[in-house]
Structure 1
């Protein structure tokens, strides 16, 4: 029996893109289970289980003995950066990290809305964007600083009558009760980089929402109410859901030139309907569905030109520090509306959570592949602090 020191606690890892937070936990278990570092913990856990009664053993959902690991605050598959990890008794401390402040850097790409509020969703609509300037964006950001109410996205893990919101969305059903807005606080918010159209690698997704998704599109885009407020001839929810597949569609929202964790923060999205932009006066649709399916991010190939041959949509990198429950994707979506257009989140990096900061005191994911000789001392030091 291994009688070495039992290592457990909390550390952080730099999550790569294209992996879910749950997959990171599984990857860590794959490396930790056979390791020397966690052999004492496994030995102690086995001894504990051997003393359990038959009833206790039967009640265990996971009867396979492996290192107990959890994460404190989900990151979307397309997101990268700080992911808090609890090991053994450290999993009991994870709830505290859900409540702490977090810092992010995100890229907002203007001119389109998707069902997920990000670049891996399906296009629900497009809007003018040639009028957007760096000054417009900086002005619009003012309304998102401080304390305000934000509505959780329909694609979120919040429970309504015992069922998660994203389950209703996937089934094409409206939530049985109105989703209430929640208080969030943005203590810091700034524009750190402005990118003109055609001068950046970010692009809209190519897939359009299908006709079968029109029930959800109607709920989140408030299509009938929107048409009435804009005085636009109704094209039907199916047309809205299909984006620009038929003549003009969302383009008829304005005659101007053509134009993404977190929703109340990213997860996905919603803030009520805004009939006029805070900056340009262009009416906007407000709530677009978001999803949290674990899917691979689309390639961010350069979007050089729009459909009318003019420069493609501009993008902005923003940096923020926010409270728990904030969805960056929703902020990207709402910022698009605030400048008289639409917006999606094209990139997200969590740079800090609690006392863990990117590039300072976290484990690099690539260290796992280098073997225990590389990651073992680093994880041991972090868990011992």
Structure 2
């Protein structure tokens, strides 16, 4: 590593599952603050602060000097992959990543929809999935390619009249107006792996939403035409169609409900047992004491053994899942794609896994720091971070030089080229910590 060089710029780290983007920044600071690589930056920052006026120093919330770090686009704790980070003056360049194209890989699990549209939410609706095949899904993907208007997640942090949508749901109040769809573009979309029922471990959450949340979601989904499970068959009463399980198909309602009940048992696992559930011995004793039938005697057992045994219930495998890869523009909600795809195939679906494999020029496995390198010490992560910051600054210098030498009439062209080289920022707020 170069001694005395002030390191600033932009690099990317591979965010692991289970950590928030903000936590990753805090972890970076923990390793960067005492490091040799960023000691010159700390020294310069200390000198600059010593020159500040008294009032400026008083206004600072953070008195301790820490390496200034920001990120260019939030990833949920569930997600993994490229998290772009800016250091020092590099935080100002995070805005250059607006309108960036990104590549995602997601696993879509069919059969259930949740309030968050992913596997960490609460189940609001379940639906049949035995008719969902690879061919059906691939045919449905066609409607999600190109430019279209996408509906943001129902319970997202989006606000309407200054109030988050999820608060309307929790309070059981109708939203003032329809949720506005947003223009998005899907440049590439393909199904890369199909997982037949019983061949994977992905499953829906066990917690279900409240009646108020379910009613709210069904109302909004109906208005927006993204209701999971498809439309109700002819002849089914409205009351039957509004239960949590969507009843579809050509079979009679009782048969359909029995099959759906079996599928739900496979879909939602780890269901907590009832507090009032009794053991078989307690139930037998209770029945005897209350005048019910006593346990069968030896004669009764021998008699019953001569009767034909009932065929055991056939075990129904869980729902199918699909790994889908996409290249999209900024503002795209992958979880909304999963939800809408479930509705498009006449079932329900949620996002089970998500990886942002590329953002702008940064791609996992090529020029992205592995999070696990941090714990290996500065001798491992230091040279890698330095090389990535140097590469970014070198490219930025080339772009700036090209802009200054280009004629005014082609200034716009130069900016477009620069954006494609540097990558563009995400629509989410750029967070900086110092």
Which TM-score band (shorter chain)? 0.7 to 0.9
Matches of residues 142-221 of structure 1 in structure 2 within 5 Å?
142-165=142-165, 175-211=175-211, 213-214=213-214, 216-221=216-221
- Secondary structure, in 3 states, of the residue corresponding to 2:67? coil
Alpha-carbon offset, residue 210 of structure 1: 2.7
Gap regions ≥5 residues in structure 2: 262-267, 271-312, 392-434
- The structure, 1 or 2, with the larger RCO (C-alpha pairs under 8 Å, 6+ apart) is 2
Give the corresponding residue for 1:380.
Answer: 386
C-alpha distance in structure 2 between counterparts of 1:119 and 1:206, whole Å:
10
Alpha-carbon offset, residue 60 of structure 1: 3.0
Give the corresponding residue for 2:321.
Answer: 315
Alpha-carbon offset, residue 234 of structure 1: 2.7
Give the corresponding residue for 1:252.
Answer: 247
Give the corresponding residue for 1:49.
Answer: 49
Pair 1:333-2:328 in alignment: no
| Greater helix fraction, Structure 1 or Structure 2 | 2
- 1:168-195 deviation digits (Å, cap 9, x = unpaired): 5666655544331111000000010111
Q: How many residues align?
A: 327
- Would the alpha carbon gap of residues 156 and 60 (structure 1) be closer, same or farther in structure 2, given more than 3 Å must change? farther
Gap regions ≥5 residues in structure 1: 241-249, 260-298, 302-306
- Secondary structure, in 3 states, of the residue corresponding to 2:14? strand
Partners of 1:15 and 1:365 within 8 A in 2 = yes
Matches of residues 202-351 of structure 1 in structure 2 within 5 Å?
202-211=202-211, 213-214=213-214, 216-222=216-222, 230=232, 232-234=237-239, 240=244, 250-254=245-249, 255=251, 258=260, 309-351=315-357
- Secondary structure, in 3 states, of the residue corresponding to 1:234? helix
Root mean square deviation, CA, Å: 2.9
Partners of 1:202 and 1:300 within 8 A in 2 = no
- Would the alpha carbon gap of residues 210 and 16 (structure 1) be closer, same or farther in structure 2, given more than 3 Å must change? same
The two structures have a TM-score, normalised by structure 2, of: 0.69
Give the corresponding residue for 2:362.
Answer: 356
C-alpha distance in structure 1 between counterparts of 2:30 and 2:70, whole Å:
14
Alpha-carbon offset, residue 202 of structure 1: 0.8
Give the corresponding residue for 1:366.
Answer: 372
Partners of 2:128 and 2:247 within 8 A in 1 = no
Give the corresponding residue for 2:120.
Answer: 120
Alpha-carbon offset, residue 313 of structure 1: 0.5
- 1:320-369 deviation digits (Å, cap 9, x = unpaired): 00000001011011111111100011111111000001100000000000
C-alpha distance in structure 2 between counterparts of 1:106 and 1:135, whole Å:
18
Partners of 2:154 and 2:217 within 8 A in 1 = no
C-alpha distance in structure 2 between counterparts of 1:41 and 1:80, whole Å:
29
Partners of 1:193 and 1:318 within 8 A in 2 = yes
- Higher Cα Rg, which structure: 2
